[in-house]
Structure 1
Amino acid sequence: MATPNKENAPQHGTTGTAPLLLSRVAGNASAPEILIATMHGKEAVLAPALALLGFQVLLPVDYDTDALGTFSGDIRRPGTAFEAALEKARRACDATGVPRAVASEGSYRPSQSLFPGARNVELLAFVDRESGVEFVEYLTDVPTRFVKGRVPADPAAPETRALLAEIGWPAIRAMVVPNDPGEGVVLPEQVFKGIDHEAALAEAFRVCATHSDDGLVHLETDLRAHMNPTRMASVALVGTRLIERLRQEGYASAHPQFA
């Protein structure tokens, strides 16, 4: 993953009263600009292909994509996954003045009204504020590992160890909350994400058990891309469809705008 270069970073817009810092992560500085609207490292798998297409790829530093929903359930997603992905991209453009953006969204609790029969979905949205072009590419049943279950509030319990093994922990990080976030509101102070060692697991179990409905805790895969290599692979997979669609729409080095 590219490290934000805060020296000589272009600044196009503002968030509140503070300048929104942009980091150039790939591409020629004279090329047309595009944002990757992420706070979870997805530029690692999306930026190289976008640069090859003819873009200068920028990352809006400290851009809060969680404002449009979290997997942990402490911030509920307004609307559909399609709407959230597009809105992430639109807001990034509007906040920075960069006319184009790519943003992702995942749906890992089945939504049969939108994706009949699908277990999970990965989406990538593209927005061009200059031309008005907007679209979403997506794939269903992507290879992201998503495992969840209720376990005793004891990290050493056989049920807990079995579920952790199924998650692929600690290479894939864990999340602990009192109750399933798919079934109700979760308070931010009761959400423990990115867990990768025993001490953090024990503390999360201790706190969440005091707030759960039955003394058990809800343990599941951390689905954020920078905490879950299988999710990052899914983003990359949909990225190939996005790049092909951009070519079809005329966004390529051979186009006069991208020469």
Structure 2
Amino acid sequence: MFKGRKLLIATKHKKENVIAPIFEKELGVSCFVSDKFDTDTLGTFSGEIERKDSVLTTLRNKCLLAMKENDCDLGIASEGSFGMHPTIFFAHADDEFLIFIDKKNKLEIIARELSMNTNFNGSEIKNEVELLEFATQVQFPSHGLILKPSEKDISKIVKGITDERILKESFNEMMKEFGKVYVETDMRALYNPTRMKVIKTATLKLASSIRSLCPMCETPGFVVSDAKMGLPCECCNSATRSTLSFIYTCKKCSHISEELYPHKKKTEDPTYCDFCNP
């Protein structure tokens, strides 16, 4: 279905470095990038352009618009969000989504990777000592930095800083002009190797999902659509809140399949039973 076809990677931040090798190996496609569509028009991390839509809507639009500009029927795009972890308080997280669209075969497959492996951070800095302490904390200079007058003020902004001399010079210039400086991590993939690793993990997930075929019609993307709770307690046999099965659904023919005991265990420890350990 995909071998020998051209696959557009909609990016201007070097994400093809991790995406292309995986997809060329797993699907036999020929990957390429193009500057015909500027993905930054849909939003920037540094705030110059606000992302107006949800992550998934932005992701889909990014891929489809880039495909349209390049007259291509096979495309992939990624979109990340950074902030507090949705379930683990006081922890930052990188939430990466990837989408694969095949217009020819009317396919859309999405993968997600939520990771606490991120250096996402920002702080108002008063002097060079604080600046260098922050830089060390967020893995500078292998990871880039951004300077601006304040967190919300983008009247002046210096991005992609990976050199200490430039960091100090930009900081001092901004201090003279505004009397304060806000420093934050540059979360664009080409300036953030940690984020690039998360994108790679999400790419592997996406490739695996594409290779998963429906047993009835062999359409790619036969992946988990739901999970059933109810794994029995090994002590009292009551249903627990642990996963009993995964439900797989085909987006094309709607075939449904249930996989029992996906975590390779048929009972749950009484520690996680609401009756044995209320």
Show the counterpart of 2:154: 186
Structure 2 residue identity aligned to 1:161: L
Query: After superposition, what is the alpha-carbon deviation per residue over 1:204-243, rounded to whole angstroms, capped at 9, x for unaligned?
Result: 324544675xx32111111111111111111101011110
Structure 2 residue identity aligned to 1:50: F
User: TM-score of the superposition, structure 2-length normalised?
Assistant: 0.69
1:134 and 2:102 matched: no
Do the aligned residues in 2 keep the contact of 1:142 with 1:234 (CA within 8 Å)?
no
Show the counterpart of 1:204: 170
Pair 1:142–1:131, CA change in 2 (3 A):
farther
Structure 2 residue identity aligned to 1:84: T
- Of residues 170, 176, 183, the one that matches 1:219 is 183
Show the counterpart of 1:37: 10
Structure 2 residue identity aligned to 1:232: M
1:234 and 1:67 mapped to 2: Cα distance? 23
SS at match of 2:150: coil
Show the counterpart of 2:206: 242
Structure with max Cα Rg: 2
SS at match of 1:219: strand
1:103 and 1:210 mapped to 2: Cα distance? 40
1:137 and 1:211 mapped to 2: Cα distance? 44
Do the aligned residues in 1 keep the contact of 2:7 with 2:32 (CA within 8 Å)?
yes
Show the counterpart of 2:148: 177
SS at match of 2:83: coil
Give me the CA root mean square deviation: 2.4
Structural mapping, 1:1-259, within 5 Å: 31-52=4-25, 53-61=27-35, 63-110=37-84, 119-152=93-126, 154=127, 156-157=128-129, 159-180=130-151, 184=152, 186-187=154-155, 190-209=156-175, 215-248=179-212, 250=219
State the structure with bigger RCO (CA 8 A, min sep 6), 1 or 2.
1
Do the aligned residues in 2 keep the contact of 1:103 with 1:125 (CA within 8 Å)?
yes
Do the aligned residues in 2 keep the contact of 1:175 with 1:192 (CA within 8 Å)?
yes
Query: After superposition, what is the alpha-carbon deviation per residue over 1:53-73, rounded to whole angstroms, capped at 9, x for unaligned?
Result: 121212113541111111100
SS at match of 2:104: coil
User: By how many angstroms is 1:139 displaced?
Assistant: 1.3
1:55 and 1:224 mapped to 2: Cα distance? 26
Show the counterpart of 1:11: none
Pair 1:246–1:220, CA change in 2 (3 A):
same
1:136 and 1:203 mapped to 2: Cα distance? 43
SS at match of 2:117: coil
User: By how many angstroms is 1:247 displaced?
Assistant: 1.2
SS at match of 2:52: coil
The unaligned stretches of length 5 or more in structure 2 are: 214-218, 222-278
Give the aligned length.
211
SS at match of 1:71: coil
Query: After superposition, what is the alpha-carbon deviation per residue over 1:35-70, rounded to whole angstroms, capped at 9, x for unaligned?
Result: 111111111111111112121212113541111111
User: By how many angstroms is 1:88 displaced?
Assistant: 0.9
Do the aligned residues in 1 keep the contact of 2:36 with 2:69 (CA within 8 Å)?
no
Show the counterpart of 1:9: none
Do the aligned residues in 2 keep the contact of 1:167 with 1:220 (CA within 8 Å)?
no
Do the aligned residues in 2 keep the contact of 1:103 with 1:126 (CA within 8 Å)?
yes
1:245 and 1:97 mapped to 2: Cα distance? 25
Alignment identity in percent?
Answer: 29
The unaligned stretches of length 5 or more in structure 1 are: 1-27, 253-259
Structure 2 residue identity aligned to 1:237: T
User: By how many angstroms is 1:87 displaced?
Assistant: 1.0
Query: After superposition, what is the alpha-carbon deviation per residue over 1:90-126, rounded to whole angstroms, capped at 9, x for unaligned?
Result: 011110111011111110134x8xx565733011112
